[in-house]
Amino acid sequence: MQIFKVGGAVRDRLLNQPITDIDYVVVGASPQQMLDAGFQPVGADFPVFLHPETKQEYALARTERKSGHGYGGFEIYSAPDVSLEDDLIRRDLTINAIAEDEQGIIYDPHNGQADIAQRVLRHVSPAFAEDPLRVLRVARFAARYANLGFSIAPETLELMQQLAQSGELNHLTPERVWKEVSRALMEPRPDVFISSLRECQALSVLFPEVDALFGVPQNPKSHPEIDTGLHLLHVLRQCAIHKQSLAVRWACLLHDLGKGLTDKDQLPHHPNHDKAGIPLIKAVNQRYRIPKEQAAMAVLVGQYHSLCHRALELSAEQIAQLLYALNAIQHPQRLIEFCAACEMDSCGRYGFEQQPYPQSDFLRGALDAAKAISSQPFIEQGLKGPAFGEALLTARTEAIKHYMVHYQDINQLIE
């Protein structure tokens, strides 16, 4: 039995990057030998075991043979006669096909170290094209390491394009797609993830609603970048710079889908694109079974981001309705993330990256004013049902009105 570190732990050590988890591959062992040594089986699709003390994962060396469609369409063979080289050649990228033994000796049969030095993401073998999930994985690695100068090798991009055109991407389960997308959006360059998918034509297969935004013009006065797709990429870039949450990043990805539906005779203006985009956002959420928190934020940002941009011009009644629509009084975090997404939309325009966004603080102040109104007096008056709700809304609207006067007075003093 031989044990090797493999994959990310070796790659990131060679890159001088933080190592978040360590994967081990075991060569020359059977499942029974692992059980006899006290390891606990956890792998559903192939033999993976937890170390009895450290609880780290140890996978038996294995080979894979394509037998169906999608990520799970493989026959797995794992036995003591599977060599380290057999295991490494099935991996996706050369930089992930490097192993290190217990003495620190590196095994690199596919020149992954050279590709690390040259900052290239290159596939290990033609078998790369058998697994459609690798399109998303490579785009995710491009997003992770773009700031280190990595790019996708042309021949690997060509295989990704072949996969996108083959129909194999349609066999990926919604859960697998979301897992990769959610991880990629949290990488240092989520914009590179989207641009990489577009470059290999996978974006039009997985997210045609997003792909449709590229080439759609916007008013150059408010959007110097003009192209809606370029705006989207810049918004995602700002999300990473400002370390926004997944809910904010997902909402930003989908916030402008309505602009892909604008009639050509109305361009470069996009009247009512907020409302037009809601069915598309809901369709994407449903297609990939997006978790409730992220799905809800995407719909709210899509529907109300233009209103947020005009927050300083709204009436107290409109602000109260917006807070109610966000359910912000019961869930203040929603307003924080909503405003964050809208701010990313605003600063995700060329030349506007450092522009202040006072709407966020203004709306948070309005929320504080509304929350200060207790429902208890209305309960004591015996109000119930719609009468109770209307009285409380009216009182909160008045509180927001007073806050707005105070806010304007302070700003006039500052000016």
Domain layout of the chain by residue ranges: 1-118, 373-414
Q: Is 375 helix (H, G, I), strand (E, B) or coil?
A: coil
- The whole-number average pLDDT for the span 341-368 is 96
Torsion 307-308-310-313 (CA) sign: positive
Q: Which of 42, 77, 73, 75 has its CA nearest to residue 62?
A: 77
| pLDDT of 40 strictly over 60 | yes
| pLDDT of 45 strictly over 90 | no
| pLDDT of 26 strictly over 60 | yes
Q: Is 125 helix (H, G, I), strand (E, B) or coil?
A: coil
Given this model, what pLDDT does residue 41 score? 86
How open is the CA angle 206-211-216, to the nearest 5 degrees?
165
Given this model, what pLDDT does residue 44 score? 63
- 2 in the Ramachandran plot: left (φ > 0), alpha (ψ -120 to 50) or beta? beta
Q: What are phi and psi of 2, to 5 degrees?
A: -125, 140
| pLDDT of 114 strictly over 60 | yes
Q: What is the pLDDT of residues 195-205, one digit of tens each?
A: 999 999 999 99
Q: What percent of the chain has pLDDT over 70?
A: 94
Token code pair at residue 7: 């994959």
Q: Considering just the CA atoms, what is the radius of gyration of the chain in Å?
A: 26
Residues 6+ apart with CB under 8 A from 115: 93, 94, 95, 121, 122, 153
Averaged pLDDT score across all residues of the chain: 92
Q: How many CA atoms lie within 13 A of 174 on its CB side?
A: 9
Q: Which residues of 196-232 are buried (b: 16+ CB within 10 A; e: fewer)?
A: bbbbbbbbebbbebbbbbbebbbeeeebebebbbbbb
pTM of the complete model:
0.90
- The whole-number average pLDDT for the span 356-373 is 96
Where do we find the tokens 């009644």?
A: 317
pLDDT-derived band at 291, boundaries 50, 70, 90: very high
Given this model, what pLDDT does residue 73 score? 47
| pLDDT of 153 strictly over 90 | yes
What is d(CA 77, CA 47) in angstroms, rounded to the nearest whole number? 10
Q: What percent of the chain has pLDDT over 90?
A: 75
- The whole-number average pLDDT for the span 239-251 is 98
- What's the Cα-to-Cα distance from 187 to each of 49, 135, 183, rounded to whole Å? 28, 16, 7
Token code pair at residue 42: 């956890």
Residues 6+ apart with CB under 8 A from 34: 26, 41, 47, 49, 58, 60
Given this model, what pLDDT does residue 67 score? 46
More confident residue, 150 or 408: 150
Going by the DSSP 8-state scheme, the letter that residue 245 receives in this structure is: -
Given this model, what pLDDT does residue 32 score? 85
Identify whether the C-beta of residue 15 lies closer than 8 Å to the C-beta of residue 9. no
pLDDT-derived band at 53, boundaries 50, 70, 90: confident
- The whole-number average pLDDT for the span 340-363 is 96
- What's the Cα-to-Cα distance from 165 to each of 68, 92, 134, 184, 391, rounded to whole Å? 17, 19, 14, 22, 58
Given this model, what pLDDT does residue 70 score? 47
What is d(CA 153, CA 128) in angstroms, rounded to the nearest whole number? 13
Given this model, what pLDDT does residue 66 score? 53
What is d(CA 316, CA 303) in angstroms, rounded to the nearest whole number? 19
Given this model, what pLDDT does residue 71 score? 47
CATH fold label, 1-118: Beta Polymerase; domain 2 (3.30.460)
| pLDDT of 75 strictly over 80 | no
